[in-house]
Amino acid sequence: MPSSPFPRSLTAAACAAVLVLTAACAQSTATGSTAAGSAAPPNTGTSAGTVTIAYVPGVSPFPYFDTAYRGAAAQAEKYGYTVKYVGVPQYDPTAQTNALNAELAAHPSVLLVSPVDDVALRPAVQRYIDAGVPVITVGGTLKDTSGVVAQIATDNYQGGRLVGEYFGERLKGEGTLAVLNIAPGSSTIEDRVKGFADVLREKYPKIKVLPEQYAGGAVPGNQQAMRSLLLAHPEIDGVFGAAEVNAEGAAAAIAASGRTGEIPVAAFDASPEEVKQLKAGRVDFLSVSKPAAQLALAVDYAHAYLTGDKASIRPSTLVPNVGVTRDNVDDPAVAPLLYTSGS
């Protein structure tokens, strides 16, 4: 899998987008407003009350996407815009396409979408472009970017490299690692695994990586896959769960085998369950992305597009991950990055 074409750097705009999120978004639609005594939104030629930004996540509810939505809602409040959180019942290209097709009838002012497939979602996105709706992809990308205003995504390759560095140092350059994945075909997850593997090949060549195991998108299947790996390879010294369910299933199997603490588990993201398991010692390392910051930046770009400030929009931005362990999980700088459930 080729590495991502985007520059592996975080722009100042993306850094500035790490916001204090509002906890008041109890509904799936949040309307921004101007606080008493604060300046009104600038006169941009766009009536703020008429601007609706639709956000179509990969699946909802889900901690990563719920957190992303709240980042968009908090930033939209600054402009007096409305953000609609569109429901998607399954993490599946067909389900997301259906949600996009249904939302198009409402003709939102801007579409923010987190594509679950970089090819299959292109036709649905094209329908928005053809209808004159500006599109920004967030948290996922499309291979064909023609007509897309901007792409903002996690630097999954860099996040995978963080995992590789963690294991290289933890194992002191020698040992055997397992990798659990959901299914082949996700460029997002493949970039994570590639970054992980590249670090080990470049810096820790004595660490052996077993063939990648595809265990599906549910915890029980991943628990069974890890149980089978432990039986076939009792020498395993660590496991990389490339997605949340992979790590949760692996941690459960390791606990059942009585080897918690002996076999470290590294995971992507920072769901409430992952953070709970990190603090309990069942997961040891989290490579954490910044969904709220990405969506906040997307809202800034939406505002820039609607108000004619297109020169300020970067066509592509990659936002780097942060490594989180039990040593820093409670740090004030880390706490805002941890995901929360509910919209």
Give residue limits of the domains in the chain.
Answer: 12-154+290-320, 156-288
CA of residue 76 relative to chain centroid, distance: 20
pLDDT digits (tens, 9 = 90+) for 113-123: 999 999 999 99
| pLDDT at res. 187 | 79
CA distance 141 to 66: 19
What does the DSSP 8-state code read for residue 61?
S
Q: pLDDT by residue (tens digit) across 42-97?
A: 333 455 669 999 999 999 998 999 999 999 999 999 999 999 999 999 988 999 99
In the block, tokens 């990798």 appear at 179
Tell me whether the omega of the peptide bond preceding residue 7 falls within 30 degrees of 0, making it cis. no
Nearest to 290 by CA among 55, 60, 29, 16: 16
Q: Is pLDDT of 152 > 70?
A: yes
Nearest alpha carbon to residue 339 among 61, 68, 89:
68
- Fold classification of 156-288 (topology level): Rossmann fold (3.40.50)
Q: What percentage of the chain exceeds 90 in pLDDT?
A: 78
> Is the distance from CB of 294 to CB of 14 less than 8 angstroms?
yes
**How far is residue 60's CA from residue 54's CA, in Å, rounded to a whole number?**
14
41 or 285, higher pLDDT: 285
Q: What integer is the mean pLDDT of 208-234?
A: 96
Residue-wise pLDDT for 1-47, tens only, equals 333 333 333 333 333 333 333 333 333 334 333 232 223 333 334 55
12-154+290-320 and 156-288: identical CATH topology: yes
Residues contacting 21, CB < 8 A, separation 6+: 67, 70, 71, 74, 292, 336
The secondary structure of residue 165, as a DSSP letter, is H
The model's pTM: 0.79
Tell me the per-residue pLDDT of 286-315, one tens digit each, with 9 for 90 and over.
999 999 999 999 999 999 999 999 999 999
Assign a CATH topology to domain 12-154+290-320.
Rossmann fold (3.40.50)
Range 172-195 burial, b when 16+ CB lie within 10 A, else e: eeebebbbbbbeeebbbbbbbbbb
Of the pLDDT bands very low, low, confident and very high (cuts 50, 70, 90), residue 186 is: confident
User: Using CA of residue 258, residue 262, residue 263, residue 266, what is the dihedral sign?
Assistant: positive
Instruction: To the nearest 10°, report the CA torsion of 128, 342, 293, 335.
Output: -170
Mean pLDDT (whole number) for 166-194: 94
